[in-house]
Amino acid sequence: MVAGCVVVLAAGAGVVLERTTGLPWVDTAPAAETALFRPEPAPAPDWSPATGVLAAPADAGAAGEPEVGAVLAPTLGAAGLGGRVGVSVVNLATGDTSYEAAATDPHTPASTLKILTGAAALHALGPDHTFTTRVVGGPDPSAITLVGGGDPTLTADADGAGTRLADLAAATAQALTDAGVTTVTLSYDASLFSGPAVDPDWSPGYVPSVVSPTTALAADIQDRPADPPLDAADEFAELLSAQGIAVDGEPAEAVAPAGGAELAAVASAPLSTIVEDILTTSDNDGAEVLARHVALASGAAGTSADAGPAVVGALTDLGLDASGARLLDGSGLARGSAVPASLITQTLALAAGPDHPELRAVVTGLPVAAFTGTLADRFGDQSAAAGLVRAKTGTLTGVSALAGVVVAADGVGYAFAVLADDVGNTLEARAALDDVAAALAGCGCA
Beta carbons of 418 and 402 less than 8 angstroms apart? yes
- Residue percentage of the chain with pLDDT more than 70: 85
- pLDDT: which is higher, 384 or 120: 120
Task: Identify the CA nearest to 135 among candidates 121, 123, 145.
Answer: 145
**Strand pairing class (132-137; 143-147):** antiparallel
- How far apart (Å, rounded) are the C-alpha atoms in residues 134 and 266? 7
Q: Transcribe 187-219 into DSSP letters.
A: EEE-TTS-S-SS-TTSPTTHHHHT-PPP-S--S
Q: What is the pLDDT of residues 49-76, one digit of tens each?
A: 333 344 444 444 445 568 999 999 999 9
- What is the C-alpha separation between 219 and 164, in angstroms, rounded? 9
Which residues form the catalytic set? 111, 114, 282
DSSP 242-253: HTT-EE-S--EE
pLDDT tens readout for residues 387-435: 999 999 999 999 999 999 999 998 999 999 999 999 999 999 999 999 9
What the chain holds in terms of domains, given with CATH numbers, is 68-126+273-442 (3.40.710.10), 132-269 (3.50.80.20)
| Confidence label for 153 from pLDDT (cuts 50, 70 and 90) | very high
Rounded Cα distance between 162 and 387, Å, is 27
Out of 1-10, 107-116, 265-274, least confident range: 1-10
Bridge partners of residue 179, in order along the sequence = none
CA–CA dist 82, 77 (Å, integer): 9
**Distance (Å, rounded) from C-alpha 104 to C-alpha 106?**
6
Give 363's contacts (C-beta < 8 A, 6+ positions apart).
6, 17, 348, 351, 352, 390, 405
Contact (CB, 8 A) for 240 and 233:
no
Which pLDDT belongs to residue 381?
A: 64
* Residue 196 confidence (pLDDT): 96
Averaged pLDDT, 266-282: 98
Cβ neighbours around 360 below 10 Å, total:
24
Q: How far apart are CA 155 and CA 169, in angstroms?
A: 12
State residue 60's pLDDT score. 44
pLDDT in tens, 223-253: 999 999 999 999 999 999 999 999 999 999 9
Q: Mean pLDDT, to the nearest integer, of 142-147?
A: 98
What's the pLDDT score for residue 98?
A: 96
Q: What pLDDT is attached to residue 207?
A: 96
> Considering the chain, what is the average pLDDT of its residues?
87
Confidence of residue 160 (pLDDT cuts 50, 70, 90): confident
Q: Are 415 and 422 in contact (CB under 8 A)?
A: no
- Answer for the pair 389, 371: CB distance below 8 angstroms, yes or no: no
Instruction: Find, among 7, 38, 300, the residue nearest to 163 by Cα.
Output: 38
pLDDT given at position 8? 36
**Distance in angstroms (rounded) separating the CA atoms of residues 360 and 367:** 14
Helix (H), strand (E) at residue 145? strand 143-147
Q: What is the pTM of this model?
A: 0.87
